[in-house]
Amino acid sequence: MKTKKIAPLVLALLMVMLTCWAALPPQGADAAGSPAIMPDTSKISVGNTVWFGNHNDENPYNTSWSGPIQWRVMGNGNDGSGNSRLFLSSHVFDAVLFNQVNPGGNNNEWPASLAQIWCLALHNYSFSDVEKAALIKTTKTDASYAGNYAAFDDTFLENDRVFFLSAEEAESVYFPKDDDSSRIATRLVSGPVSEIPAAWWLRSPFDGNTDYVGAVDSSGRVLEMKVNEDNIYARPAFNFNLSSVLITSAAEDGKLSGPTGQNALTAVLSTETTDWKLTLLDSSRLFSATWFWGQKTRTVGYTGWTVDLDYSQARKGTNEKISALLCRKDDGTVLYYGQLQDDISDLGSGRVRISIPTGLAVGEYQLKVFNEQANGDKQTDYASSFSTFDIKVDPNFVTDVKLNKRSTVILVGNTETLTATVSPESATNKKVIWSSSDIGVATVDENGEVTAKAPGTAIITADAEGAKEGDRAAACFVTVLDAPVPAIVPGASKVGEGNTLWYGYYEDYPGYRYSAQWRVMGAGNDSGENSRLLLSENAMGDEIQFNSSGTNAWQGSTAQNWCKDFYNNALSAVEKAALAKTTKSDGEYTSKHNYVFGASGLSDEYLFLLSAEEAETYF
């Protein structure tokens, strides 16, 4: 009866655990819009996966499955080099014993354990020589560690290339310490992924009993397991040397090529994958290529661009290719990939023709040619270093610039727009840069509009930005003149200081009439805000005495009477009406030459002589 009740309970717990594991966020980082071929190691980053090596039947410890191995990139390596990433297998491998139980022995020590021997066998049987060279020999000491569920003693790695994680690395370095579910791993059974989580070994000895060692159980907890448990699995890790990578590409359909031959270069697709494979630099390959024939520079819109390269020391064999990348020079972005030749001679030398794809934009590019063993999806490729050739797509340059005018005259304050025409019509960049030789005389904006500032001459130049040597320009000579004053100006704006007015007339001799010219001196002396004081520009009439009676008073003087006669006889009725009747008192005044003048004044007067003070202040 108890058995019937317990079994459903165990099943329910397992289903909850699997549901939690399945609900974990994807391990891959967001890679939207990444090219499927990368010329660097930027995709060997936390959250992404990499296919590397093959678990095969030659390994005597292989008890589970065969095929390419997928690894999770966990972060920086634990070797301290600063140029490595720690790879941890995405799934567990074989069920293995950590060690035998030997009475009185330190059965939970990593060195010489069955677990270490299993890792050594994986290294020997699952990786090619070039892959092995990319694994870093790691020597490090693990301090004792108190985890969430158990405490662990210290241990060490010594020149280990493949190893198990320590308890601390598994619980708090490469996984979130408080997220047990993140450590759950499943196993592979003849290729497909098992849906059942499996426990996996760690390398840290349990503190307190030499028959126990660290492990991650099927629910992701880091705790102790007996060393001879036979249902705990291997989950290996290693430090990968980033310097060994030549190319990173999408694990599937990353290196797509057209049919082998001169037209093989194929556009690299954009991908959102987080699953990658590697092309490793094989230092034993001595391939090199030299330029034989073809143009290195073409004009945008080109057709039929082919180049020939001579190569030597190419390797012949299964999957061996002469391949090429076409990249942007500035940032290395891979635009095209192609496998140009696979019928490599026994001598390893020959000539390969490459058709440069049409449609390249203006810019600088690099053609990178190499010899590779291209092994297909999810398999590591091996390649020589690049032979790199610079090529360039030039714009269709401007060859001539013309302006609609060679010279023009503009009045101060006016504008005129010049029009520039560049040739040929198909020029890539038709923009012109406008400039003025003297912005004090004339300025010009980006649209060719010239504004006259002051009298003088200026040269307005239109330089073609799209000319090859920057020497295609046209010029217009601009003469700026003062704007003429209109013959008739409405209002009183010209009754201003410094100007003169013709107003009224006078007779010098009987029958000889002269128009009277007056100088505008400034604001009137009548205390009004809407008047101007006019002073005759020249002497008028005969010489007169100031006062024939011999006194110096203004009132009743001969001079005052002369002014009254001029007002009555020299001005029309309308002109008289425009004169302001002025009453003012002049106080005593000492001139700048220390002459003292007595007080005087005006009383309802239209025309008058200046006072001594006014004569000195209006001038």
Reported as a single tens digit per residue, the pLDDT across 552-580 is: 888 888 877 878 888 888 778 777 778 88
Q: Report which residue type is found at 555.
A: Q
pLDDT in the model for residue 1: 31
SS3 169: helix
pLDDT in the model for residue 509: 60
> What token pair was written down for 422?
């560049």
Taken in order of first residue, the domains within the chain and their CATH numbers are: 27-242 (no CATH), 251-394 (2.60.40.1930), 404-481 (2.60.40.1080), 500-617 (no CATH)
Spatial separation of the C-alpha atoms in residues 166 and 201, rounded to whole Å: 9
Q: Concatenated DSSP letters for 483-497?
A: PPPPSS-STTTT--T
Compute the mean pLDDT over every residue in the chain, rounded to the nearest whole number.
88
Reported as a single tens digit per residue, the pLDDT across 51-67 is: 999 988 787 777 777 88
pLDDT in the model for residue 24: 33
Model pTM?
0.69
Give buried/exposed letters for 502-535 (b at 16+ CB in 10 A, else e): ebbebeeeeeeeeebebbbbeeebeeeeebbbbb
Q: pLDDT: is 398 or 527 the higher one?
A: 398
Using the structure block, give the residue that is written with the tokens 């290693």: 238
| Rounded percentage of the chain residues whose pLDDT exceeds 70 | 91
Spatial separation of the C-alpha atoms in residues 617 and 615, rounded to whole Å: 6
Q: Concatenated DSSP letters for 99-124?
A: ----TTS-TT-STT-HHHHHHHHHHH
Reported as a single tens digit per residue, the pLDDT across 330-375 is: 999 999 999 999 999 999 999 999 999 999 999 999 999 999 999 9
